[in-house]
């Protein structure tokens, strides 16, 4: 397990670099298509770095705001706070900020850039439908994401995927309506580079989406195993996952941008649990049946 955690940390660094390079590629493509020259290239580089830094420090706030999460009052949600505090003591983690999402669908997610700057959010439906042991299993799963540093790349993906999609869409529309002002259309090299830029702008959102999907699947299995190791009671999380599998409600505040953060697919449970190769390719999470089977075999 520790080797897997170490490997995940290395993959996290590579994925973050990949996201940064993709953003940089998009802004450079925009520069090539619009003919910005050296000045445009410098502006593109500054934009890429600025957006990446902003994502690093603010992605958790964006994820929480998009999910309509609010701080969990310690008195009103005493059980929630007590369970997290006990698990944090057992795992050696600092207590994350705790949030509530007012939604009847049972679900939860963790966000932040590191254990000292992290947050956990659960829906009111999760608190109502899970007993204490099941809730502890879910919270241990989310704290494992924090301990394994999964939250960094998973949270940054929220904003960077959105940035790539918005930039690509905006400038493709800009080109469609005749916004290009390239002055070197007769330059074959310039034309080839501009064409490559347009191709990148077209495919960048797809690449970003695939990278986003790659972020969470393998990490869910590891977080399940780490969570069970933390509680020392596999039946708790197994029972919670079975309840999630049987629940058909979807989260109203969830979106494709944040879907990979939640403990299970929050948008379409039928799609998430489907076992076809096509559905598995584009699912944000591994099937719940597979996750349950792995835990039952432990």
**pLDDT tops 90 at residue 187:** no
Percent of the chain with pLDDT over 90: 39
pLDDT tens for residues 198-236? 666 676 667 666 666 666 667 888 899 999 999 999 999
* Digit-coded pLDDT (tens) for 243-256: 999 998 888 887 77
Q: Which residues are catalytic?
A: 142
pLDDT at 282 over 60: no
Is the pLDDT assigned to residue 34 strictly greater than 70? no
Q: Evaluate whether 91 touches 118 at the Cβ level (below 8 Å).
A: no
Looking at residues 130-155, what average pLDDT do you find?
91
pLDDT range class, residue 150, cuts 50, 70, 90: confident
Instruction: Supply the pLDDT for residue 274.
Output: 47
2-6, 67-71, 155-159, 226-230: least confident range? 2-6
Mean pLDDT for the chain? 79
pLDDT at residue 127 tops 90: yes
Find the mean pLDDT for residues 83-108.
96
Q: Catalogue all structural domains in the chain, each as residue range(s) with its CATH number.
A: 2-65+154-213 (no CATH), 70-151+216-296 (3.30.2010.10)
Averaged pLDDT, 33-56: 71
Say yes or no to pLDDT of 273 above 60.
no
What pLDDT score does 211 carry?
Answer: 66
């Amino acid at each position: 397990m520790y080797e897997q955690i170490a490997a995940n940390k290395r993959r996290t660094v590579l994925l973050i670099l990949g996201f940064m390079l993709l953003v940089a590629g998009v802004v450079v493509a925009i520069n090539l298509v619009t003919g910005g020259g050296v000045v445009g290239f410098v502006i593109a580089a500054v934009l890429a770095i600025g957006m990446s830094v902003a994502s690093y420090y603010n992605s958790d706030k964006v994820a929480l705001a998009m999910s309509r999460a609010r701080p969990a009052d310690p008195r009103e949600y005493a059980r929630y706070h007590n369970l997290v505090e006990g698990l944090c003591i057992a795992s050696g983690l600092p207590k994350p900020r705790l949030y509530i999402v007012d939604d009847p669908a049972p679900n939860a997610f963790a966000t932040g850039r590191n254990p000292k700057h992290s947050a956990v959010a659960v829906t009111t439906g999760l608190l109502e439908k899970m007993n204490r042991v099941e809730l502890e299993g879910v919270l241990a799963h989310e704290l494992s994401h924090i301990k394994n540093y999964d939250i960094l790349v998973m949270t940054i993906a929220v904003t960077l995927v959105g940035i790539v999609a918005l930039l690509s869409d905006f400038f493709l529309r800009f080109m469609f309506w005749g916004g290009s002002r390239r002055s070197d259309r007769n330059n074959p090299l310039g034309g080839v580079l501009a064409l490559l830029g347009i191709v990148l702008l077209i495919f960048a959102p797809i690449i970003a989406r695939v990278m986003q999907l790659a972020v969470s699947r393998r990490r869910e299995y590891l977080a399940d195993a780490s969570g069970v190791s933390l509680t020392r009671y596999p039946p708790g999380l197994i029972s919670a996952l079975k309840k999630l599998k049987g629940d058909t409600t979807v989260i109203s505040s969830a979106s494709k941008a944040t879907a990979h953060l939640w403990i299970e697919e929050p948008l379409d449970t039928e799609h998430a649990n489907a076992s076809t190769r096509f559905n598995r390719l584009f699912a944000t999470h591994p099937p719940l049946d597979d996750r349950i089977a792995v835990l039952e075999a432990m």
